[in-house]
Amino acid sequence: MISKARIKEIHSLEMRKFRRQERLFVAEGTKLVGDLLNTMSPTYIAALPEWINEHGNQLKNILVDEITSAELNRASLLRTPQEVIALFPIPDYQLDIESLKGKLTLAMDGVQDPGNLGTIVRIADWFGIEDILCSADTADIYNPKAIQATMGAIARVRMHYVDLPEILGQINMPIYGTFLEGDNMYEKQLSPEGIIVMGNEGNGISKEVKERVNERLFIPNYPAYRETSESLNVAIATSIVCAEFRRRQQ
């Protein structure tokens, strides 16, 4: 059974101010919660009996409520609830700029859509990128929609909310950004280390961050003369860029 107070707490975590206050985020579903359980310890779990029976060996020292389908529907933030709801502590990662050397790192400059950001975390995880720098005006990765979109990748990718122009100014590596006036990505030499900046869905990379970019890339459409869409979704563009960087390292 789940209390009304607990349901109220879960729903309050839809709002960023309460996530910051409580230092908690909500994760739902067997795949997502299962992946997180491998690396993080939740403070609370509410789940159907069958889920608890299947994962009992992972639930030692965790507060667990066994709930009914009706209770799950009331507590869930999803249109279609998925067996389990868990509350996890928000990690407190410390950014060490020196640790970024020799690796690829993503930087989000004002990415607004939580679904896009969560998908980008999943892309980073797929391509072995362990750190993402985020400007202060980037969407909150611990938004429930963003968390769901990571599909568990948030357990393996460290998110750092920083003063992005200031941090980029301290980095002595290539800083890449995508621009319509950039160099063809497929013809340009790409370094195995550096920062790849992805900009806001509508406005692209901000003026302050643009001044820090020293390598401008362009993702060409095909064929070049064909009339095409004005731009790519930021998550799709991220996947294309990451794939090309990793292909060069094969």
The reply to whether 135 and 225 lie within a common domain is: yes
DSSP-based three-state secondary structure for 37? helix
Q: Is the pTM of this model over 0.85?
A: yes
CA distance 110 to 136: 8
CA distances from 25 to 17, 78, 89, 239 (A): 11, 14, 6, 26
Tell me, yes or no, whether 144 and 61 share the same domain: no
Q: Are 144 and 81 in contact (CB under 8 A)?
A: no
Rounded distance between C-alpha atoms, residue 43 and residue 4, angstroms: 17
74 & 140 share domain: no
- What is the model's pLDDT at position 223? 78
Residues 221 and 196 in one domain: yes
164 lies in which domain range? 97-248
pLDDT at 172: 94
Q: Decide the pairing of beta strands 24-28 and 84-89.
A: antiparallel
Q: Are residues 26 and 134 in the same domain?
A: no
Count: domains in the chain: 2
Q: Which pLDDT value is given to residue 228?
A: 75
| Total residue length of the chain | 250
Distance CA 239, CA 67 (A): 39
**Three-class secondary structure of residue 66 per DSSP:** strand
Residue where a domain terminates, one of 46, 65, 89: 89
What CATH code is carried by the domain that includes residue 156?
Answer: 3.40.1280.10
Mean pLDDT, consecutive 10-residue stretches, the chain (250 aa), reads 96 97 97 92 96 88 95 95 96 94 97 97 97 97 97 95 97 94 94 96 94 95 78 93 93
**pLDDT for residue 27:** 97
Q: Which residues pair with 200 in a beta bridge?
A: 204
The CA R_g of the chain, rounded to the nearest whole Å, is 20
CA atoms within 13 A on the CB side of 178: 29
Tell me: do 192 and 121 sit in the same domain.
Answer: yes
Structure tokens at 24: 């908690």
Q: Which of 38, 65, 89 is the last residue of a domain?
A: 89
* Beta-ladder partners of 26: 87
- Among residues 59, 89, 119, the one where a domain terminates is 89
57: domain CATH number? Answer: 3.30.1330.30
Tell me if 187 sits within 8 A of 115, measured CB to CB.
Answer: no
Beta strand pairing call for 175-184 and 131-135: unpaired
Q: Which residue in 202, 198, 92, 79 sits closest to 144, CA to CA?
A: 79
* 105 and 180 co-located in one domain: yes
